[in-house]
Amino acid sequence: MKFFALLTMAPLLALASPGLAQNDGPHAAAPDPATTAVAPEREWKTTPVAIETTLGTITVALETERAPITSANFLRYADQHRLDGTVFYRVLKLEWGQQPNGLIQGGAQNDPDRILPPIAHEPTDKTGLSHVRGALSMARYAPGSATADFTIMVGDVTSLDADPKSEDPDQQAGFAVFGHVTGGMDVVEAIYGQPIDPEKGEEFLKGQLLAQPVKIMSVTRVSP
C-alpha cells in the first residue's frame, strides 16, 4: 500500500501581491479606484467526478488543466471502473490547527488486478495547487511512483506541499494535488470519524487504519 509519510509542518508563506506601478515625482496622483481595471480571476479547466461511498457521495473537480497528468490518471481509473469496490481505509488525525484536521486515504492498495503503471510526479510548486481543506492528492512512495491510492484533506495540511528549499528530497517534491471537493465534505468528515482499530497497522500506520473500511461503490465522471 502507498502511504503519506507526514512531513514536518512548515510555516505558511505569505503571497506578496505585485506592486502597483508608480509615477515619478513627489506629487504623483494615486490611481482612482473607480477607474482602475481589475483583471478577472482565471478560471481553470476542471472535470467533475462523483465518488459514491456507503456513507454518501463526494463530488470533486479534477484539475485537468493545472495537473493534467495526475487528473488523467485518476480519470483512467474511473473510466475503467478500477476504483469501483475499493475502500477508504486510513484516517490520519492531526491535533494541531483548526479541527477536524488531517486526511482520509483510499484506493486500490496495490491490488495487481486494478493498478496501472505509475505516473510522473506533478509538484505543487509547478501546478500552483495546495493541500488545503478538501484537496485531493496522490499517495506515493518515491516521487513518480503514484498509482491508484489517493487522499482527501480534512483540514489544511500544507506541509505536504512541495518545498524546493528543503534539504530533504522527499519534502522538495511534496505530494501531488490534483483536485478539490465541491460537495460532500460532510461525507469526508463522516469517514474521518469512523472507528479506528488500534491493533491494525505497523510502525507509523498503527492507530490510523479503520476498523471497518468504507466501501467506494463507484467513481464516475459527472455530466456538466
Does some domain include residue 70?
A: yes
Its domain, for residue 71, covers 47-221
Residue 95, judged by CB atoms within 10 A of its CB (0-12, 13-18, 19+), counts as exposed
Does some domain include residue 159?
A: yes
Does some domain include residue 76?
A: yes
Does some domain include residue 2?
A: no
What's the pLDDT band for 224 if we cut at 50, 70, 90? confident
- Domain count within the chain: 1
Does some domain include residue 197?
A: yes
The answer on pLDDT for 101 being more than 70 is: yes
Name the least confident of 16-30, 53-67, 103-117, 201-215: 16-30
**Contact (Cβ atoms closer than 8 angstroms) between residue 211 and residue 80:** no
Does some domain include residue 170?
A: yes
Does some domain include residue 24?
A: no
* CATH number, domain containing residue 141: 2.40.100.10
Distance, in Å, from the CA atom of 199 to the CA atom of 201, rounded to the nearest integer, reads: 7
Please give the backbone phi and psi of residue 214, each rounded to the nearest 5 degrees, phi first.
-95, 120
The answer on pLDDT for 169 being more than 80 is: yes
The answer on pLDDT for 72 being more than 90 is: yes
Grid cell, residue 57, equals: 457521495
Does some domain include residue 119?
A: yes
Distance, in Å, from the CA atom of 209 to the CA atom of 147, rounded to the nearest integer, reads: 20
Grid cell, residue 209, equals: 487504519
**Contact (Cβ atoms closer than 8 angstroms) between residue 93 and residue 204:** no
**Contact (Cβ atoms closer than 8 angstroms) between residue 11 and residue 156:** no
Distance, in Å, from the CA atom of 221 to the CA atom of 75, rounded to the nearest integer, reads: 8
The answer on pLDDT for 215 being more than 50 is: yes
Distance, in Å, from the CA atom of 63 to the CA atom of 211, rounded to the nearest integer, reads: 32
| Full-model pTM | 0.82
Q: Which residues of 19-28 are buried (b: 16+ CB within 10 A; e: fewer)?
A: eeeeeeeeee
